[in-house]
Chains A and B, each alone.
Chain A
């Protein structure tokens, strides 16, 4: 069974940093591209970032470019999102998503003073 488990969310002040993790199991993680998608409270879905299976190709939404960094460790079956210079508008539940249509339960990031 495919499982994606996000962690690392929490309360952070504007300008601060957080690192999200996504632990994958139940599939050959190293063979698949991955995405981060977020959902602000009461709002719709917004794609954040993409990474290819090898990590050689990466894309970001304009709203996070230059502030967020996606990475992966295929040996650890893990996906990461380093978030710097956080803004109040980054407050959201962050999901990792596989191309097979599986999503994790999400981790809440709250940016507030």
Chain B
């Protein structure tokens, strides 16, 4: 199985400041069709997960543009340009290239 490793586990942030989460996979996430199926999810306290980013850098509809995804191969990053109070929660990366689908362990973002 592909192991997804996120860092840090916990990320204290300051409102208005940038934040960055790293996600590394144990093997390349480039699929045979040329796409890289790496997604990012946000789970606010008491809520269901919500997808923010798909295929490394594509923002889902309604996701603020302060969220951005980047990376390639085995190394990926989620960046928040200016943290807002509503961004508190746990963030997960997920790979959809190889079966079984696997998630990172999560990064808790707190003010």
- A interface residues, Cβ below 8 angstroms from B: 35, 37, 44-47, 50, 59, 61-62, 95, 101-106
Contact = CB atoms under 8 A, between A and B. Distances in A.
B71 interface: no
Contacts of B48: 95, 103-106
A47 B102 contact: yes
Contact of A62 (B51, B100, B103, B106): B100
Interface of B: 39, 41, 48-51, 54, 60, 92, 94, 99-106
Contact of B101 (A35, A95, A103, A105): A35
24 contacts: A35-B101, A37-B49, A44-B106, A45-B41, A45-B49, A45-B92, A45-B94, A45-B103, A45-B106, A47-B100, A47-B101, A47-B102, A47-B103, A50-B99, A50-B101, A59-B99, A61-B100, A62-B100, A95-B48, A95-B49, A101-B39, A101-B50, A101-B54, A103-B49
Nearest to A61: B100
